[in-house]
Amino acid sequence: MTEENLVLVDKQDGVAVVRLNRPDVLNALNMPLRRRVAEVFESFVEESGLRAVVLTGNDRAFAAGADIADMSKIGAIDMYLRHNERIWGAIAACPYPVIAAVNGYALGGGMELAMHADIIVAGRSAKFGQPEVKVGIMPGAGGTQRLTRAVGKFKAMKLCLTGEIISAEEAHAMGLVSDLVDDDKVLEHAMSVAKRIAALPPIAVQQVKEVILQGQDASLGAALALERKALQILFATTDKNEGMSAFLEKRSPSYIGR
C-alpha cells in the first residue's frame, strides 16, 4: 500500500471525509499513517470552499492505537525526534470543525486522535480507552490533558491509571462522546452534522470554534473578553447582514464566507 492510500479523502458539498485506511491492523497509527494524516489536514488550510471535516476509520476500528510493533523497537531519543506533537498539531490547528465518526476501537493514540476533533459521533458498539499503562508507557498525545478537560480529573485518572476499556455508552455518559447512534448510522449521522455546519456562515463557525478552544484554558474574564471581541468582529461580515436580513424577510440565507 502506498503512503497516499493510507488515508482516503473524499470531498462533497463543502465537507471532506478523511478515512484512515490500514484495515488489516485496525488502523494502527504507524508513522507513515500519522504523517499522511498531517499532510491531508495541512492541505485543508488553504481550501476556501471547505466548511467541515469528518474523520473516520472503518466498521472494525476508528484506530486501535499506536503501532506497538514499531514502538517496541525505538528508544527515548528516537521517540523525541519523531516530534509527534507537530503531526497531531496539524489536526488541532484545522480551522474548520472536525467531526470524528467512531466505529469499533478508539484506543490509545486512536482515542487521542478522536479527541483532536471538535465533535465525536460514536456507534453503540464502539470502545474507548487509554491502555498505554498496560505496556509500560502512558498517553503522550493528549490522553492525560485533553481527556481531563473533557471528563474531569477523576474519570481521567481512572481511565489512564487502569487502562480500562469503556463502552461508547459510558463515554457518552461522561461527556466524551457528543452523539451516540446505531453502528450503521455513524458516518451518516456525522455527515448530517457536518452538512448542517457547512450550511452556516463560515466565519461565524470558525470564530465559535476558536473562542471555545482558546477560552477553555484562559481565565473567565479573559475568555469572556475574547468572546466579545469575536462577536464584534462578526458584525463587520457580509454574512451577518445576510443572515439577519433573511431572518427578517422569512427566507433562506445565502452565505458566502465574507
Does the active-site annotation cover 39?
A: no
CB 125 within 8 A of CB 105: no
Nearest alpha-carbon partner for 26 in 135, 111, 110: 110
Does the active-site annotation cover 109?
A: yes
Does the active-site annotation cover 66?
A: yes
Buried b (16+ CB within 10 A) or exposed e, 34-65: bbbbbebbeebeeeeebbbbbbbbbeebbbbb
Instruction: Pick the catalytic residue from 38, 66, 106, 190.
Output: 66
CB 99 within 8 A of CB 195: no
Instruction: Pick the catalytic residue from 38, 112, 143, 156.
Output: 112
CA dist 234 and 236 (Å) reads 5
Residue with grid cell 463515554, as numbered in its chain: 171
Instruction: Give the CA distances from residue 83 to residues 56, 63, 94, 106, 130, in Å, rounded to whole numbers and listed in that order.
Output: 23, 20, 18, 22, 20
Does the active-site annotation cover 112?
A: yes
CA dist 102 and 128 (Å) reads 10
Exposure on the CB side of residue 252, measured as CA atoms within 13 A: 3
Instruction: Pick the catalytic residue from 108, 132, 156, 198.
Output: 132
CA dist 94 and 104 (Å) reads 25
Instruction: Pick the catalytic residue from 109, 123, 142, 143.
Output: 109
Beta strand 7-12 with 127-129 is: unpaired
Q: Name the residues annotated as catalytic.
A: 66, 109, 112, 132
